[in-house]
Structure 1
């Protein structure tokens, strides 16, 4: 309750400032790429936040997406201090059970998917140093993006301006962390360019968590004349080393949050990753219609050493303890937009189709040779995995009356999984198989405008989420082959919202939401170092969001996001009480909390200052207690964490230098930053760092 009172006091303190002003100047329409419409974000019957990315302005190094999502309601982005597993990202409780990477939430970078067609995504290649903004779409209209769209996060690169810009930056901090970067953007004739390179390395907060990565991103937009443009986006990521400290038990966390378990050292658990991607977008814009064609392709390779004991690999069906993935992916999207009138009122129609595919060569090896652990041994798995999605979608936006507008949409999706087994032995038969999922997901929203300052809206939508290859990969009966009996999770969601904007550029938003899901996925068994899954029934996620964003006067700016969320299973089922577990044996009653989801969370940033002279900021982040498994056998305690930063900008002729110092976890709270949901070894806890200091320098030329 202390956390609730703290956030209530913050809201009470700032809301009077929001209602002090009474008049508003109507802003001109601004295209909203996240919704594929040329209407102002303020007029959408949806919860959509657009967050500017100002590299280095708040002293953050620009490594993790969680750095830029402060003050965005509904979103929980948790830095795991483990670069072998990527960040945890959930929206309104969707995606919280992901044990690695991001699932249940769709990811895009410059309009190009960062989520594979099976619903699994990753944000490690998001180039924050090149970014202009991040858009976060929550609620029913997320379903317009198809499979696993419990929410949508899009990163957009900055465009160049008429005056060329060059940036050099360096950040150094605790645990030997270092990030070096450089960026350039501008306009050269018909070319609008933005290029960024970066290198990051750290010894890690915990033992056995050293990591390094090098990344590059280029956005080249060519003006072809007559409203036509061609934008080419290329990025690369090389992560040659990322040690995995694994999770801790509660007792281990209390004893020493910086430790790693013995298995991490014994097997030298680690991950190596490399990715290259190229995409292109051709657009032709006219007075009444637009055409957009997008195509992309890439290649990704991952090698990961797991801490699976040799004894657990004795079964002829074991896939070993080293995962080796290599393959390509790609897709295309074609979209036509028509603007006109219906009964004399403005109308905008969007029709489109997309195709996405992933071909992956999956190999598994033993993680031992004789008595030597953590080395690549004998081959135990060899298969070709393919998944492709073919979708069609439509949207219609109509200003049906002076104070009313209507937004309708639908998407039809077909997602096909296929596995071709190349590892056949006497004890391991052919595991080949295929399955297909289909869904049509309608959405609708209506917006009422009683004044230029106020918007009221309601919306409804249906969504679906297929199992990923990770969840399909093992059958709960212990036999070979894909778990073809798994069904997609289907959901129905509704939302009521209010948006209010003051004359001082302060915007207040409130949203009430509910999402009911059926065929929720849960762990069916844990043995041999592997988890299997099954559909367990119904669940509900409901709650409220509050956000304040804008100027407070006298140079002060606030961004605040608060979320109250109840995520509960609505039907009972059986769960595993211990490990190893082949058959669930412990009843989980209806009303049990969905693991990985806090009942309340939020964050704020309050800052003052400009590019030159002094600049400072205060950040608060609060998260309630989080259950760690389906049984709710334990929880990670909640926390409130404080960060401060102070910077100074100096003019050096036409250049500017920014110096900054940042302190995170100012009061040195011991906290669990994230949890590994349903970990088979009971090592659920991933500690967050104590007090840490970072210093940085950015030179703009």
Structure 2
């Protein structure tokens, strides 16, 4: 009954308002670059959501990307309340098993990859204070982005305009949390600019979860004349200390969701991150042809103290309990676009190639010296890792008839991993090795336009997902070297959908989808701080998405996204009956649910008001029960979370002042915000905060 009430509440709140929509004034179209072609989102034979970043209007501090993704169907963005592990992000079930960061979903910021060539991505350097919109591409056409593209999320920084804008923002809330932002945006001759600096601190909802983050982002656009532009993007991130409270068992979560485990305190589990990145994009647009060249480079350093007990590090193969990771990365993308005609019908084609590489120096140390825990001790791991990807892609969009359009694409990817072991001892042999993966992924979509306000489409595509360096790092037979026997996950994706615009500023979309994968990855063992993986056979993710997004008239706006998703293993395999997991010994039958994926989830935001005067909003977020491991031994219960916000804006001469108040988890529900899938200690649960209040102020100069 609880699940049913959750979904009835969301549906009842959204549909009557959608049916009452009124026509509104046209707004200029949003430039969308999700498929690299000049196709309006309404005409695209794919599921694409374009979300304006307006977190401040909702009274949110703009710390996490999940704040901007409310009401986007197919997307499950979960704040772990643990800034040592980043947010949890999955799309249609892809990426749900990530224990930290984002994998299985491609991330981009201003066209620059935030996902490394091995498929592991990070969200922490995204500056929402400077962002203009987020584009979320789901389904078959995600494969056009290559490895680990179960979905694509792109964040775009706002360009500077002719009217200069200076903003100062301050937010404060529960657990001694506060966030400060300063930003400047405008134009100076041929230059447009957007610069933002931010500082965030929190004591954390849970014990031992303090965090600090300083970030900066700058976008500089240069008009070079004759259709040529240059855009330069710089960003920096510093997390000098971030405590890790670790997960909780179900009994611990029920007893006290704010606690951390003893191991977190004993070892002072924590993480430090430093990252700097520079990217540039040059474009030249002519009447029929265009060229785009993009290049980027960056460096990232991570120090992390884990809670691995000293006894578990006695094995000569142990990598220790302190991670010291430093590396550089970079890449380039070259693209040619042609616009013309074929058989008298409009046609647009793209040819391109991309190269991405990451080099990292990975060291591991014991996390103790004598009886002192949580400090770097003896060296236990020293290796040089490199991964690089070289891809070529082609796309064709042809309006074959008045009511029909065809979109075709293909991408060939080659991803190579190499490790050179520099820590070789009598009990720890040379772990050096290399492996290379190749795949060609075709996609095709057909769009039918029976009328000005309705689109019907069908699409199909193939995709692949290589293991990340973390999954290749250890062999499941206990031997030395990379897990060179791991195969990439291959998938076949199909989708049919409709898009309906009853009015210019209101859109309703429905999509039915299925993704069949083979060589799905699952945990083979997890103990002593080490997880190994193996391919376990076939899986299927299928479901439906519904979204309603737009103006309802009389100042009301609605964004509603509902998802039904059935994600299951289609092949039986062995999993571990107990934790820690030394070797799989329990049969998991075909039909078992894939962990980390709820059957139903959705969210809506209903708001009314404008920048000046009163503004208010209501948010509902519902998530069904989530299995926590491959054998579905337990679940995190579902929930319905309610948020309310109220704001007021006034003009003070040439200055505008906005103040806001927001209440999250209004009814103080006990919620598991996210789960750590297949945790080797059985600590699967990461609690979300109870009722909390955030106060904010924004000053526009």
Change (3 A) 1:512 1:25: farther
For residue 393 of structure 2, what is the aligned residue in structure 1? Answer: 393
Matches within 5 A, 1:268-347: 268-347=268-347
For residue 224 of structure 2, what is the aligned residue in structure 1? Answer: 224
For residue 124 of structure 2, what is the aligned residue in structure 1? Answer: 124
* 8 Å contact from structure 1 (residues 134, 156) kept in 2: yes
Matches within 5 A, 1:189-588: 189-503=189-503, 505-588=505-588
Note the C-alpha offset of 1:287.
Answer: 1.0
Note the C-alpha offset of 1:18.
Answer: 3.9
CA distance in 1: counterparts of 2:671 and 2:22, whole angstroms: 42
For residue 618 of structure 1, what is the aligned residue in structure 2? Answer: 618
CA distance in 2: counterparts of 1:13 and 1:602, whole angstroms: 12
Q: Deviations over 1:234-278 (max 9, x none)?
A: 000000011000000000000000000000000000000000000
CA distance in 1: counterparts of 2:23 and 2:158, whole angstroms: 32
CA distance in 2: counterparts of 1:573 and 1:316, whole angstroms: 30
* 8 Å contact from structure 1 (residues 621, 640) kept in 2: yes
Change (3 A) 1:208 1:28: closer
Q: Deviations over 1:395-426 (max 9, x none)?
A: 00000000010000000000000000000111
Note the C-alpha offset of 1:655.
Answer: 1.0
For residue 667 of structure 1, what is the aligned residue in structure 2? Answer: 667
CA distance in 1: counterparts of 2:504 and 2:230, whole angstroms: 38
| SS of equivalent residue, structure 1 residue 137 | strand
Note the C-alpha offset of 1:301.
Answer: 0.1
* 8 Å contact from structure 2 (residues 23, 553) kept in 1: no
CA distance in 1: counterparts of 2:429 and 2:207, whole angstroms: 41
| SS of equivalent residue, structure 1 residue 34 | coil
CA distance in 1: counterparts of 2:168 and 2:676, whole angstroms: 37
Note the C-alpha offset of 1:55.
Answer: 4.4
Note the C-alpha offset of 1:553.
Answer: 1.1
* 8 Å contact from structure 2 (residues 21, 552) kept in 1: no
CA distance in 2: counterparts of 1:395 and 1:437, whole angstroms: 23
CA distance in 2: counterparts of 1:233 and 1:6, whole angstroms: 42
Note the C-alpha offset of 1:578.
Answer: 1.3
Note the C-alpha offset of 1:12.
Answer: 5.0
CA distance in 2: counterparts of 1:25 and 1:670, whole angstroms: 43
Matches within 5 A, 1:75-90: 75-90=75-90
* 8 Å contact from structure 1 (residues 30, 39) kept in 2: no
Q: Deviations over 1:17-67 (max 9, x none)?
A: 545679999998754211101121110000000000124111100000000
| SS of equivalent residue, structure 1 residue 502 | strand
Taking structure 1 as the reference length, what is the TM-score of the superposition? 0.98
Note the C-alpha offset of 1:551.
Answer: 0.8
| SS of equivalent residue, structure 2 residue 318 | coil
Note the C-alpha offset of 1:6.
Answer: 3.8
For residue 694 of structure 2, what is the aligned residue in structure 1? Answer: 694
CA distance in 1: counterparts of 2:280 and 2:311, whole angstroms: 49
CA distance in 2: counterparts of 1:377 and 1:656, whole angstroms: 54
| SS of equivalent residue, structure 1 residue 596 | coil
CA distance in 2: counterparts of 1:660 and 1:318, whole angstroms: 51
Q: Deviations over 1:48-95 (max 9, x none)?
A: 000001241111000000000000000000000000000000000000
CA distance in 1: counterparts of 2:425 and 2:20, whole angstroms: 75
* 8 Å contact from structure 2 (residues 317, 428) kept in 1: yes
Note the C-alpha offset of 1:526.
Answer: 1.7
Q: Deviations over 1:129-171 (max 9, x none)?
A: 0000000000000000000000000000011111100000000
* 8 Å contact from structure 1 (residues 24, 453) kept in 2: no
CA distance in 1: counterparts of 2:5 and 2:254, whole angstroms: 26
Note the C-alpha offset of 1:503.
Answer: 1.9
For residue 34 of structure 1, what is the aligned residue in structure 2? Answer: 34
For residue 188 of structure 2, what is the aligned residue in structure 1? Answer: 188
| SS of equivalent residue, structure 1 residue 224 | strand
Note the C-alpha offset of 1:581.
Answer: 3.0
CA distance in 2: counterparts of 1:496 and 1:119, whole angstroms: 27
For residue 609 of structure 2, what is the aligned residue in structure 1? Answer: 609
Q: Deviations over 1:416-443 (max 9, x none)?
A: 0000000011111110000000000000
Q: Deviations over 1:451-479 (max 9, x none)?
A: 11000000000000000000000111111
For residue 149 of structure 1, what is the aligned residue in structure 2? Answer: 149
Q: Deviations over 1:158-213 (max 9, x none)?
A: 11111100000000000000101110001100001000000000000000000001
CA distance in 2: counterparts of 1:199 and 1:25, whole angstroms: 38
* 8 Å contact from structure 2 (residues 10, 604) kept in 1: no
| SS of equivalent residue, structure 1 residue 606 | strand
What is the aligned-residue RMSD (CA, Å)? 1.4
* 8 Å contact from structure 1 (residues 84, 270) kept in 2: yes
For residue 654 of structure 1, what is the aligned residue in structure 2? Answer: 654
Change (3 A) 1:444 1:428: same
Change (3 A) 1:205 1:251: same
Change (3 A) 1:150 1:563: same
Taking structure 2 as the reference length, what is the TM-score of the superposition? 0.98
* 8 Å contact from structure 2 (residues 21, 551) kept in 1: no
CA distance in 2: counterparts of 1:6 and 1:175, whole angstroms: 28
* 8 Å contact from structure 2 (residues 621, 641) kept in 1: yes
For residue 134 of structure 1, what is the aligned residue in structure 2? Answer: 134
Q: Give structure 2 stretches of 5+ with no counterpart.
A: none
CA distance in 2: counterparts of 1:247 and 1:72, whole angstroms: 27
Change (3 A) 1:444 1:161: same
Are 1:71 and 2:71 an aligned pair? Answer: yes
Note the C-alpha offset of 1:662.
Answer: 0.3
Change (3 A) 1:266 1:22: closer
Change (3 A) 1:148 1:207: same
For residue 177 of structure 1, what is the aligned residue in structure 2? Answer: 177
CA distance in 1: counterparts of 2:650 and 2:13, whole angstroms: 34
| SS of equivalent residue, structure 1 residue 252 | helix
CA distance in 2: counterparts of 1:611 and 1:182, whole angstroms: 19
CA distance in 2: counterparts of 1:503 and 1:263, whole angstroms: 57
Between 1:465-474 and 1:8-17, the stretch displaced more is 8-17
| SS of equivalent residue, structure 2 residue 168 | strand
Change (3 A) 1:14 1:671: closer
* 8 Å contact from structure 1 (residues 25, 452) kept in 2: no
Note the C-alpha offset of 1:299.
Answer: 0.2
CA distance in 1: counterparts of 2:111 and 2:462, whole angstroms: 23
